[in-house]
Amino acid sequence: MDIYCPRCAEPWHVDSLHDAVEDGYAASYDDARRTFANDGCGTLFGGPPCQRSNDPRAHLAAELFDVLGEDVDAVAAMHADAEFLGWDR
């Protein structure tokens, strides 16, 4: 399942947060989750900060991370449900 960057809307597999820890981009899974949710994928994976996007997936991701916080699996599941329902078309 994918989670979307709350800044640029780039899709990432949920395991990417674990990969960020293994690859040395984050000290812990919680650190990776917080960085991804607050600063985006670019910052998490050692690149330049992501540009803000008007893509509805980015806005939804930001809201889901804000409401669900630590439950990344729930964020991914709710995003998948929203896409299935065609909310972004």
pTM passes above 0.75: yes
DSSP string covering 52-68: P---HHHHHHHHHHHHH
* Burial status of residue 33 (CB atoms within 10 A of its CB: 0-12, 13-18, 19 or more): buried
- Amino acid (1-letter code) at residue 26: A
The dihedral over CA atoms of 11, 15, 18, 22, expressed in degrees to the nearest 10, equals -90
Q: Are 39 and 62 in contact (CB under 8 A)?
A: no
- Would you say residue 88 has pLDDT above 70? no
Return the structure tokens found at 20: 């960020």
Residue 69 is predicted with a pLDDT of: 84
- If pLDDT is split at 50, 70 and 90, which confidence band does 85 have? confident
Task: Tell me the per-residue pLDDT of 2-61, one tens digit each, with 9 for 90 and over.
Answer: 999 999 999 999 999 999 999 999 999 999 999 999 999 999 998 889 999 999 999 999
- Would you say residue 89 has pLDDT above 60? no
- If pLDDT is split at 50, 70 and 90, which confidence band does 74 have? very high
- From the list 26, 9, 10, 12, the residue with the least C-alpha distance to 72 is 12
